[in-house]
Amino acid sequence: MVHSPYYKARDGIVKALKNAVKSCGYPTTELAASVDLSRAFGDISSSISFRIAKELKLNPNEVAQKIIAAFKKPDYVESVAPASGYMNFSLKRPKFSSDVIKYALRLAAGTPISDLGGDEKIIIEYPSVNPNKPWHLGHLKNAVLGDSVARIHSAYGYNVEREDFIEDLGSQVVESLWGYLNMDNDPKGKKFDQWLGEEYVRVNKFMESNDIKGQLSRLLQNMEQHGTKEAQLARQIAEKCVMAQNETASSYGIYRDILVWETDIMSKIYDNALEMLLKSGVAEKVDRGENKDCIIMDLSKVKKLPPEFRGLKEKIKVLVRNDGTPTYVAKDIAFHMWKFGIIENSFGYIKFIEQPSGRILYTTTPSPNAVKMDFAGVKKAINIIDSRQEYPQGLLRLAFSCMDRNDVAENIVHLSYGPLELESGAAMSGRKGTWIGNSADDLLSATKAKAAEILSESRFKLTDVEKKEVSRKVSIAAIKFDLLKQSPEKKTLFSWTKALNFDGNSGPYCQYMYARAFRLIESAGIREEQIAKADLSVITDDNEFALVKLISQLGDIVEKACTELRPNVVAEYANELAYGFSKFYENVPVLKAESDAEKAARLALCAAFIKSLAYALDLLGIEVAQRM
C-alpha cells in the first residue's frame, strides 16, 4: 500500500516520539493516540506529556521539554516546540504540500484508498424492507446508511457483499396476500409497492371490525408449503413489490448484490440449522409444562450470560412454537449460519435485475433454472437494523457463543440507528399508513422541486437542461447528507431548509464548493498534464497550507469511519474540506496570482481539492456537480 503523506508524517513522529520518550525513561503506552493534526499551534501536535505527567506526578511542560530535547526529527518535520504542555510539530511545507497534492491527484472515487481490509469478504445487510409497501423515510435512512458503510468498507480494502433479506413469510405479507385475494388485485397504473402498501392499510382497517384470524392462519400454512398456489402467488406479488422498491433504490443510487428470501431459507437451510442447534445443546425440545412441544433456548443454563440478559425475569426464549412455526430469531440463526459458511450454501441463484449502475442484483430462488454461486462464507457480517432490534441481535450472538463459535458471535455487528421523522413530527407506520405522502419517492420528488426552485435564483447560471440534472444531484445530496451527518444512533429530524442550505453543513454546500473549484480550473484552460507539472513547492502560505492539511487527512478519515462504523465522520470531513476551500478561495488569488508558478500550483491545489472532495462525497453516495 502507498501510504498518504499525512500517514507517513504522523507515523514518523510517533516512532521518533517513542524513542525519545523511552530514552527519557517515561512509559510509551498510548503514544499513537496522542498524536493528531493540530487545530491551534504547529501542524501536528502531541498531548503525551500530559498523560505521562499525570501518571508520574510531574509538570507537563517540563516533561514536554525533556522529550523534545531527546527528539530526533523524522522525515517531513521541520521543527518541534513546546506550548502549554503540548508538543507542536511544524512540517516542511514545500515537501509536504507537494507530496499531498500529488497523492490526491491520483485519487479516483469508487476505488480503494487503502488495502488494510486485506480483501477480506464481509456481508453488509440492508435495508430488508418487507415486500408489501414502498420505502418510507425510516427505510430510506437504513438504506442510505448501509450503502455508505458498504462504500467506506470497499474504500478500506474489504471485499463487500451487499445483501438484502426479504421477509416474505411475515404477518404483513400474509395480510397483503389476503387483501389481494379478497379485496382488490388491480394496481390501476400505480407504482406497485405504493398500491400494495395502501391495500395493506385497507386490510388492517377492515380487521378492526372483522375477525379474519382463522383465514390468515390457513393462508400462512398454505404459503409455507412449497409449491402451493398460495406460495407461488405470494412470491410473485412479493417479487413485483421488490422490483418496484428497487426503482426507488436506483433513483437514490443505492445498489445491492443479492436478495435472500425467507421462503428460500425455510426450504433450503432451516431444517439443517435447527438440527445443528439441537445437537449442540443450544436448543432443546420441551416435553412438559406451558412450553410443551416448543423448541427453546434456556438462558438459565448459560454459564457466562452477557450483562444485557442477566436482569430478565423470563429466561426461556422460544425458537420454535408448539405448532412447528419458527420465530424470527430461529430463522435469523439459520440465516447467519449461511452467512458464515457454517451450513452448506444450498441456495440456487438467478439474475433478478441489472441495476442502472450496471451492477447485477441476484436473488435466491426455487427456480429449476437456478445456478450455484459463491455468495456468503464470510468472517464478518454487519447488520444495519434499527435500535428496537438490540435484544434479538444480542440473542443471535448469544446462540453462536453457546455453540462455541465466538469467532462468529464477535463478528456479528449490529449497526443500530435511531428513528427518522419529518419536521412535522410524523412517525412512520406501515400498518397505520402514516407513511402515505411520506414515502422515499415522495421525499425525493418534493426535494427535487425545492432544489429546482432554489437553482432558479440568479446566482446559479444554469440552462433548463442543466437545471434538471443538477436538481436531481442536489436533491439526493441534500437528503443523503442530512441523514448521514450525525451519529447513526441519534434521532433524525429531516429539515428541507437545512438540507438544501448552500451556505454550509449540507450536501449542496459541498457540491457548490466543488463546482466553484472546477470552474476555476475550467476558466484557466489548464489541462491535467499541465497541472501534474506544476512546481508545488511554492505552496507555503498559511491559507494554502491549511487546505493542504485538510486534504492530507482523507486516508485517516476513511480508516476512522470504517473502524467505528460512522459515515458521519466522512460527512463532517467533507463539510470541513469544503469550508477550508471557501476560506482559501476568499483569501488567496488563483487566476490573478502574482506569478505563473503560483497560479499553476494553486490550480493544482484546487484540482487536489476536487479529487479529495469527490472521493469523500462518493463514500456518502453523493455525486458531484461541475456546474451550479
If DSSP states are collapsed to H, E and C, what string results for 29-97?
A: CCCHHHEEECCCCCCEEECHHHHHHHHHCCCHHHHHHHHHHHCCCCCCEEEEEEECCEEEEEECHHHHH
Determine how β-strand 348-354 pairs with β-strand 360-365.
antiparallel
Q: What's the grid cell of residue 266?
A: 425455510
CA dihedral 546, 551, 552, 556 (to 10 degrees): 120
**What average pLDDT values come out for the chain (628 residues) when binned by 10 residues?**
85 94 89 73 88 93 95 95 91 94 93 93 97 94 97 97 95 94 92 95 93 93 88 96 98 98 96 96 93 95 87 90 92 98 96 96 95 96 94 95 96 93 61 74 91 84 86 95 92 78 89 96 86 88 94 95 97 98 96 93 96 98 93
Position 496 scores a pLDDT of 72
With beta carbons less than 8 A apart as the criterion, state whether 331 and 265 touch: yes
Position 463 scores a pLDDT of 84
Determine how β-strand 380-386 pairs with β-strand 412-417.
parallel
With beta carbons less than 8 A apart as the criterion, state whether 480 and 447 touch: no
Q: Burial, 593: exposed, middle or buried (Cβ in 10 Å; 0-12, 13-18, 19+)?
A: middle
CA separation for the pair 185, 228 (Å, rounded): 19
Please state which architecture CATH assigns to domain 121-422: 3-Layer(aba) Sandwich (3.40)
CA separation for the pair 179, 163 (Å, rounded): 29
- At 377, give phi and psi (nearest 5°): 70, 50
Instruction: Provide the 3-class DSSP secondary structure of residue 497.
Output: helix
With beta carbons less than 8 A apart as the criterion, state whether 355 and 332 touch: no
Strand partners, 364: 349
Position 455 scores a pLDDT of 87
With beta carbons less than 8 A apart as the criterion, state whether 264 and 365 touch: yes
Position 429 scores a pLDDT of 58
- At 202, give phi and psi (nearest 5°): -65, -40
Can you give the length of the chain in residues? 628
Q: How many CB atoms lie within 10 A of CB 392?
A: 15
CA separation for the pair 92, 112 (Å, rounded): 28
What separation, in Å, do the N-terminal and C-terminal C-alpha atoms of the chain show? 36
With beta carbons less than 8 A apart as the criterion, state whether 352 and 363 touch: yes
The CA–CA distances, whole Å, from 427 to 430, 437, 475, 532 equal 10, 12, 22, 52
Please state which architecture CATH assigns to domain 5-91: 2-Layer Sandwich (3.30)
Q: How many CB atoms lie within 10 A of CB 104?
A: 24
- What contacts 508, CB < 8 A, 6 or more positions away? 451, 474, 477, 478, 499, 500, 501, 502
CATH number of the structural domain 440-619:
1.10.730.10
Position 40 scores a pLDDT of 61
0.75 exceeded by pTM? yes
**Is the backbone of residue 376 left (phi > 0), alpha (psi -120 to 50) or beta?**
left
Q: Burial, 431: exposed, middle or buried (Cβ in 10 Å; 0-12, 13-18, 19+)?
A: middle
With beta carbons less than 8 A apart as the criterion, state whether 579 and 504 touch: yes
Position 503 scores a pLDDT of 82
Helix ranges, 354-433 (H) = 390-402, 406-409
Going from N- to C-terminal start, the domains of the chain cover 5-91, 121-422, 440-619
